[in-house]
């Protein structure tokens, strides 16, 4: 009966339609899907044809709009649609994983929004898009969906109570434009820019006349740098452009990044042109990963990834919607405590036994061997005397292995397991033991020879499996008992 | 602590017939491999190439190695396989080169599949696959007498209860 009260709360429980402007957005969607046809119509350059096409399109989409209704029932969101083929979709509240509010630039001008309801289970069809509703309706709908959901998951009774009383919002983290730009410059985005520059270099395929013109203005042979100073200048310029683009792309997606807590939910807002607002019930949070690349560590920065129990297939997408692109190292523990209530600050980690160092070095050497051989072959082909230079890779690989060993570590505190590994990106994984689905201790022949084993903690959601690598076998077995929620007491010797 | 000693004593081995299944599967794999090697060998000779050794040597070696492996591997694997329907979790221990000890608390179990391959059906065995909300969970018990599988499944599900496992 509680959930019924909730369901009728947002403005009468009857059938509702999307915003009146929706047919226009539908039409735009159709045009985008049928773009060859649209181009064909436009190419005829006859006004009557274009007008007729627009009229037909709007008539069809208006019909679609009329047929598309949604209603909040006692325990489910029910969406009916389809002009010819009719479709009915019922999303039970307790299946809702996440509710996103997306506002594209045009949406913001018109005061509307897309509400995206994401459910557990695979595939893109696991989503319901209400495209578009008025902003007020979207917000009301979202809060009543999340409240109804909290009511459905009777687990947190008092939490649901608290959520029902329109909880206040508490900002946890806000990023300035400068920080967002820094995230782009120091992050993987700098690499992603190459993907944008790639197509630009194909310009000649797109527009031969333009590239001809460019060629006439800047003869490559005349422009090509000849002196060392010129080479340096070009390199510096290229790097500046590159980093500038990385910063800009970061600003486009993450401008005005805010992480806030509203009742039992985590809310993430971001975006310059397209505002995105993701909401994740905090109880659905499975794992938090703190990532520090070498560069970011030097600058005292880190980033955080959050894994929810969402869809296995689209987990990456969900994760990127929730990720914190950058934050000062000093803020990590505070944010961690907010994301995982009860989690202690990242403690001093226990290093694995010294025999693990040799294994780390060996693993690094084995991994680097093909690269070293390939480098030697290339150098040999270029000029024979330089081939031994490839052997420089060996000490580098050894150093990498030693660094990998230094990054290893684990700890457990108050129901949380902390595990760290990785070079050059050091990842500290924090798993609430209560979220572990299962666990295993695995050891290869080489590990067993020196008494080491690796603990895997299986969690819901699509991210990588948290691991404690190369720990002493009995410690790994003991950690497995902790993961299973059995006596976490003092270390016992026997097995 | 007592739990652990208990579970150590309650650990069960697989049904012995699984050795037959694994032997047949391994042998079949190597037979196919040997046949492919033979076809390539003979084919290249007909095409005029001259691979080292008499015709059929490579295929014979593959078949021999496969035969040895098909004899040794299933038996060694069988010796190392233990599963334990402990008080609060299903525990599996297996693996020859790569040893695995995995544990799945019952209340995390989402559903359980009982499946049979053709060879398993011939000898009357079933395979139990336990699923949790995590894709990483490794919980397949390969050799259960077909008559026992249903009972084992019901036992695990009864212990799993009806809580929300996410």
Inter-chain touch B134–A477, beta carbons under 8 Å:
no
Residue A246, classified by CB atoms within 10 Å of its CB into exposed (0-12), middle (13-18) or buried (19+), is: buried
Mean pLDDT of chain B: 86
C-alpha A487/C-alpha A49 separation (Å) is 77
Of B101, B139, B164, the CB nearest to A441: B101
Does the beta-carbon distance from A441 to B136 stay under 8 Å? no
Provide ipTM, 2 decimals: 0.83
Shortest CA gap B131–chain A (Å): 10
B100 touching chain A per CB within 8 A: yes
Structure tokens at B145: 């007498």
Compute the distance between CA of residue A59 and CA of residue A78 in angstroms, rounded to an integer. Answer: 25
Shortest distance between the Cα of B51 and any Cα of chain A, in A, equals 28
Q: Give B50's DSSP letter.
A: -
Instruction: Tell me if B138 and A462 make a contact (CB, 8 A cut-off).
Output: no
pLDDT at A4: 38
B2 in A contact zone (CB under 8 Å): no
**Is residue B59 predicted with pLDDT exceeding 70?**
yes
Residue B87: list chain A partners with CB under 8 A. Answer: none
pLDDT in tens, A80-139: 888 888 788 888 787 777 788 888 888 888 889 988 887 765 444 557 888 889 888 888
pLDDT at A224: 61
B25 vs A: CB within 8 A? no
- CB contacts of B101 in chain A (<8 Å) are 440-442, 477, 480
Longest CA–CA span in chain B (Å) reads 71
pLDDT given for residue A327 in this prediction: 93
**Model pTM score:** 0.74
CB atoms within 10 A of CB A140: 15
Please tell me the predicted confidence (pLDDT) of residue A438.
Answer: 92
pLDDT at B36: 94
Nearest chain A Cα distance for residue B163, angstroms: 10
Contact between chains at B101 and A480 (C-beta distance less than 8 A): yes
**pLDDT for position B2:** 41
The CA distances from residue A304 to A175, A301, A328, A404, A417, in Å, are: 13, 10, 11, 20, 16
What gap in Å lies between CA B147 and CA B125, rounded to an integer?
A: 8
Residue ranges covered by each domain of chain A: 178-254, 355-483
Give A266's strand partners. A261, A280
CB < 8 Å to A465, chain B: 136
Using an 8 Å Cβ cutoff, are A99 and A145 in contact?
yes
The SS3 call for residue A484 is coil
Q: With contact defined as beta carbons under 8 Å apart, do A456 and A440 qualify?
A: yes
Partner B contacted by A439 (CB < 8 A) = yes
Q: What are the structural domain ranges in chain B?
A: 18-77, 83-160
Neighbours of A363 (CB within 10 A): 19
One DSSP character per residue, A46-103 reads -HHHHHHHHHHHHHHHHHHHHH-EEEE-SSEEEEEE-SSS-EEEEEEGGGEEEEEEEE
pLDDT of residue A9: 39
Task: Give average pLDDT by consecutive 10-residue segment, chain A, 495 residues.
Answer: 38 76 89 87 86 91 91 85 81 78 87 82 62 88 80 49 62 93 80 53 51 61 68 86 87 91 87 85 88 91 85 52 89 93 91 94 93 90 84 91 94 92 91 92 93 93 86 93 74 38
pLDDT reported for residue A312: 43
Q: Chain A contacts of B97, Cβ < 8 Å?
A: 444-445
DSSP, residue by residue, A388-445? GGGGGHHHHHHHHHHHHHHH-EEEEETTEEEEEE-SSSEEEEEEEGGGEEEEEEEE-H
């Amino acid at each position: 009966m509680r959930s019924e009260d909730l369901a009728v709360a947002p403005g009468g429980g009857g059938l509702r339609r999307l915003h009146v402007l929706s047919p226009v957005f539908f039409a735009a969607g159709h045009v985008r899907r049928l773009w060859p046809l649209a181009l064909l119509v436009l190419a005829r350059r006859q006004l009557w044809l274009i007008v007729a096409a627009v009229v037909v399109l709007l008539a069809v989409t208006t019909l679609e709009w009329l047929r598309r209704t949604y209603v909040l029932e006692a325990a489910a969101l029910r969406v009916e649609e389809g002009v010819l083929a009719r479709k009915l979709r019922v999303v039970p509240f307790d299946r809702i994983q996440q509710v996103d509010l997306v506002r594209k630039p045009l949406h913001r001008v018109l005061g509307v929004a897309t509400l995206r309801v994401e459910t557990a289970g695979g595939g893109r069809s696991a989503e319901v898009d209400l495209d578009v509703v008025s902003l007020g309706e979207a917000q009301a709908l979202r809060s009543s969906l999340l409240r109804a959901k909290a009511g459905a998951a009777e687990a947190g009774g008092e939490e649901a109570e608290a959520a029902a009383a329109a909880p206040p919002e508490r900002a946890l983290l806000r990023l300035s434009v400068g920080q967002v730009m820094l995230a782009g410059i120091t992050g993987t985005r700098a690499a992603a820019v190459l993907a944008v520059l790639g197509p630009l270099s194909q310009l000649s395929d797109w527009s031969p006349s333009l590239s001809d013109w460019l060629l006439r203005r800047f003869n490559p042979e005349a422009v090509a740098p000849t002196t060392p100073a010129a080479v340096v200048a070009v390199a510096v310029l290229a790097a500046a452009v590159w980093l500038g683009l990385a910063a800009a792309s970061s600003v486009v997606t993450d401008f005005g990044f805010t992480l806030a807590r509203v009742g039992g939910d985590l809310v993430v807002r971001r975006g310059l042109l397209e505002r995105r607002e993701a909401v994740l019930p905090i109880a659905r949070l499975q794992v938090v990963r703190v990532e520090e690349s070498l560069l970011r560590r030097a600058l005292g920065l880190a980033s955080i990834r959050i894994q929810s129990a969402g869809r296995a297939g689209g987990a990456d997408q969900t994760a990127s919607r929730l990720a914190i692109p950058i934050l000062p190292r000093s803020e990590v523990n505070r944010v961690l405590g907010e994301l995982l209530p009860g989690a202690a600050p990242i403690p001093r980690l226990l290093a694995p036994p010294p025999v693990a160092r040799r294994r780390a070095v060996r693993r690094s050497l084995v991994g680097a061997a093909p690269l070293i051989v390939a480098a030697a072959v290339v150098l040999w082909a270029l000029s024979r005397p330089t081939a031994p230079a490839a052997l420089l890779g060996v000490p580098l690989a050894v150093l990498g292995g030693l660094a990998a060993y230094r990054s290893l570590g684990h700890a457990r505190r108050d129901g949380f397991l902390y595990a760290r590994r990785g070079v050059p990106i050091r990842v500290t994984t924090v798993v609430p033991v209560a979220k572990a689905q299962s666990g295993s201790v695995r050891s290869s022949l080489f590990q067993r020879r020196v008494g080491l084993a690796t603990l895997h903690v299986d969690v819901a959601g699509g991210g990588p499996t948290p691991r404690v690598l190369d720990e002493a076998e009995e410690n790994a077995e003991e950690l497995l008992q902790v993961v299973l929620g059995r006596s976490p007491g003092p270390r016992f010797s026997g097995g | 602590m007592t739990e652990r000693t208990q579970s150590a004593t309650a650990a069960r081995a697989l049904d012995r017939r699984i050795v037959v299944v694994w032997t047949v599967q391994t042998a079949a794999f190597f037979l196919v491999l040997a046949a492919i090697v033979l076809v390539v060998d003979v084919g290249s000779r007909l095409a005029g190439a001259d691979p080292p050794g008499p015709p059929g040597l490579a295929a014979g070696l593959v078949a021999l190695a496969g035969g040895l492996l098909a004899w040794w591997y299933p038996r060694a694997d069988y010796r190392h396989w233990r599963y334990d329907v402990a008080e609060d979790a299903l525990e599996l221990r297996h693996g020859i080169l790569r040893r695995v000890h995995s544990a799945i608390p019952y209340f995390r179990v989402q559903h359980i599949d009982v499946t049979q391959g053709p060879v398993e059906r011939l000898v009357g065995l079933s395979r139990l696959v336990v699923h949790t909300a995590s894709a990483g969970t490794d919980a397949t018990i390969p050799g259960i007498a077909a008559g026992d599988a249903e009972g084992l499944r019901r036992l695990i599900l009864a212990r799993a209860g009806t809580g929300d496992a996410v």
